[in-house]
């Protein structure tokens, strides 16, 4: 499942969907914030208009008299009566009140509190505990200065508070006049509108997205997936594999009339070129292989020549360098009395003598590599069962060559005789050359013993 989600067919629609969803969400959040800001600005301006009108109903110069208790009651009651009309005529007005700021800077004394249906009005002289956000505004702007409008989620709802400082005819600060608007309903209506708008936008987005993704799937992702699955089946081991690759590509038969079709045509062309080039390469390689085989084969005996042995020696050197316990053993072979056969019976007989000696070595060392590195010198690199039974193998070879040499019923050039010396890798060896040297020394020792026993000539 996770692997499927990582493919373009699933990844592209998922990324596109969440990108569209994020974009719509950001736009709607921005709209909601804009609505909220406009709502606050609108009600702030409305509040300022109401406060300017309400301030005219208050005799600000007489506020000190109201606080002292020595005031004209009829005048005060007339102001209260007029202020009570504002919540009645303006439904959004939740509270309309005024208080004088006390000396402690934390409380106020009620001057006016308009009557509202949802709460009892406070009386002149009642103590008012000033809210923290209003105190912060007073501390910010200073006593008697205009305050910023503030909003707050209260137990009565989402309220917007607009204020106006009350200054007497001499410019002295006497208190603040406040109007609170209950914006809970307006805010909730904005939220409902945004949610509905989001639902409509989301539905439209899904519809457009579904149609768009269907078009994208048909024209882009599905063709790309087909190409991907086709390429994943490619094999390159043989020419037949490449022919099957081309057949798979042709079966796709993509026609989208845009970049995907160009991609498909490039893949088709590349696959055809690959098959053509590999067919030509195989033809040339076969020719080169045959030539290469000849280059590393001794023409007379058919075994590996000196160049082939040098390549094998590099391989063995690497095996010695990197293997902890390399299984490396060689036999050095030198034909006895080849010069005698050539001088006495001719080079044709000498060639037959060489070929016969080589055949015996090859027949007994079937699992190993045999190389002719000189006119009468051979090297056998023991492998497999020959390596495992190397000690018995060299004894059998020595015995067989003694038998052929001592068989006087045969022609002299068929009485095959070879001196043999074997050596295997030891942990003290610095490299392959040490193994070769010990094998060569053992061979010359055997050759010396042969001459001492049978003489230099037969």
Task: Please say whether the beta carbons of 173 and 144 come within 8 A.
Answer: yes
d(CA 97, CA 114): 6
Residues 375, 372, 285, CA angle at the centre, nearest 5°?
A: 125
CA 142 to chain CA mean position, Å: 59
φ and ψ at residue 446, rounded to 5 degrees? -65, -40
pLDDT, tens digit, for every residue of 325-353?
Answer: 788 899 999 999 999 999 999 999 999 99
Helix axes 259-295, 222-232, angle to 10 degrees: 10
Report residues of the chain scoring pLDDT below 70.
1-13, 216-217, 257-258, 281-293, 456-458
d(CA 51, CA 178): 7
Tokens 């300022």 label which residue? Answer: 48
pLDDT of residue 208: 78
Exposed, middle or buried by CB within 10 Å (0-12, 13-18, 19+), for 18? exposed
Strand ranges of the sheet holding 377-381, from the earlier edge strand across to the other edge: 369-372, 377-381, 329-335, 418-424
pLDDT of residue 415: 93
Query: SS3 letters for the chain?
Result: CHHHHCCHHHHHHHHHHHHHHHHHHHHHHHHHHHHHHHHHHHHHHHHHHHHHHHHCCCCHHHHHHHHHCCCCHHHHHHHHHHHHHHHHHCCCEEEEEEEEECCCCCEEEEEEECCECCECCCCCCCEEECCHHHHHHHHHHCCCCCCCCEEEEECCEEEEEEEEEEECCCCCEEEEEEEEEECHHHHHHHHHHHHHHHHHHHHHHHHHHHHHHHHHHHHHHHHHHHHHHHHHCCCCCCHHHHHHHHHHHHHHCCCCCCHHHHHHHHHHHHHHHHHHHHHHHHHHHHHHHHHHHHHCECCCCCCECHHHHHHHHHHHHHHHHHCCCCCCEEEEEEECCHHHHHHHHCHHHHHHHHHHHHHHHHHHCCCCEEEECCCCEEEEECCHHHHHCHHHHHHHHHHHHHHHHHCCCCCHHHCCCEEEEEEECCCCCCCHHHHHHHHHHHHHHHHHHHHHHHCCCC
- CATH architecture observed for domain 306-454: 2-Layer Sandwich (3.30)
pLDDT, tens digit, for every residue of 177-221?
Answer: 999 988 888 888 888 888 888 888 878 877 877 777 777 667 777
pLDDT, tens digit, for every residue of 112-148?
Answer: 999 888 788 889 999 999 888 888 888 887 778 888 8
pLDDT of residue 222: 77
Q: Where are the domains of the chain?
A: 16-190, 233-293, 306-454
d(CA 286, CA 183): 91
CB count within 10 Å of CB 254 equals 19
Task: Please say whether the beta carbons of 345 and 413 come within 8 A.
Answer: yes
pLDDT of residue 338: 92
pLDDT of residue 458: 44
Average pLDDT, the chain: 85
Residues 278, 284, 286, CA angle at the centre, nearest 5°?
A: 100
CB count within 10 Å of CB 399 equals 9
pLDDT of residue 5: 46
Class of the CATH domain delimited by 16-190: alpha beta
pLDDT of residue 107: 92
Task: Please say whether the beta carbons of 333 and 386 come within 8 A.
Answer: no
pLDDT of residue 2: 43
pLDDT of residue 1: 47
pLDDT of residue 287: 63
Query: In the Cβ-directed half-sphere of 285, how many Cα atoms lie within 13 Å?
Result: 7
pLDDT of residue 78: 94
pLDDT of residue 414: 93
């Amino acid at each position: 499942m996770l692997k499927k989600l990582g493919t373009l067919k699933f990844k592209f629609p998922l990324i596109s969907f969440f990108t569209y969803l994020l974009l719509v969400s950001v736009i709607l959040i921005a709209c909601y914030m804009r609505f909220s800001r406009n709502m606050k600005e609108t009600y702030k301006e409305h509040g300022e208009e109401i406060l300017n009108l309400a301030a005219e109903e208050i005799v600000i110069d007489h506020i000190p008299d109201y606080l002292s208790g020595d005031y004209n009651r009829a005048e005060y009651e007339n102001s209260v009566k007029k202020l009570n009309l504002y919540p009645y005529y303006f439904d959004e007005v939740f509270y309309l009140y005024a208080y004088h700021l006390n000396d402690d800077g934390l409380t106020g004394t009620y001057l006016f509190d308009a009557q509202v249906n949802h709460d009892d009005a406070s009386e002149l002289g009642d103590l008012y505990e000033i809210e923290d956000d209003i105190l912060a505004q007073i501390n910010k702007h200073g006593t008697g200065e205009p305050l910023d409008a503030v909003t707050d989620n209260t137990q009565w709802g989402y309220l917007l508070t607009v204020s106006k400082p009350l200054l007497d005819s001499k410019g002295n600060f006497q208190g603040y006049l406040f109007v609170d608007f209950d914006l809970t309903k307006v805010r909730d209506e904005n939220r409902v509108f945004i949610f509905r708008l989001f639902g409509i936008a989301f539905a439209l987005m899904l519809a457009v997205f579904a149609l768009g993704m269907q078009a994208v799937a048909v024209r882009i992702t599905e063709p790309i997936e087909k190409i991907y699955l086709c390429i994943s089946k490619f094999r390159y081991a043989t020419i037949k594999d490449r022919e099957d690759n081309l057949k798979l590509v042709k079966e796709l038969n993509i026609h989208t009339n845009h970049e995907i079709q160009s991609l498909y045509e490039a893949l088709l062309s590349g696959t055809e070129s690959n098959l053509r080039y590999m067919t030509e390469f195989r033809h040339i390689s076969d020719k080169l292989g045959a030539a290469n085989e000849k280059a590393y084969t001794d023409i007379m005996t058919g075994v590996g020549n000196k160049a082939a042995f040098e390549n094998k020696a590099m391989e063995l050197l690497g095996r010695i360098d990197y293997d902890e316990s390399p299984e490396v053993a060689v036999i050095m072979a030198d034909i006895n009395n080849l010069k005698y056969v050539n001088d006495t019976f001719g080079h044709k007989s000498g060639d037959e003598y060489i070929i016969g000696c080589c055949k015996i070595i090859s027949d007994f060392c079937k699992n190993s590599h045999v190389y002719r590195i000189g006119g009468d010198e051979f090297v056998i690199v023991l492998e497999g069962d020959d390596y495992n039974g190397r000690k018995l193998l060299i004894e059998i070879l020595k015995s067989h060559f003694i038998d052929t040499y001592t068989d006087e019923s045969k022609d002299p050039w068929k009485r095959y005789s070879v001196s043999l010396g074997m050596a295997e890798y030891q942990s003290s060896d610095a490299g392959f050359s040490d193994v070769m040297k010990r094998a060569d020394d053992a061979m010359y020792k055997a050759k010396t013993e042969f001459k001492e026993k049978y003489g230099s000539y037969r």
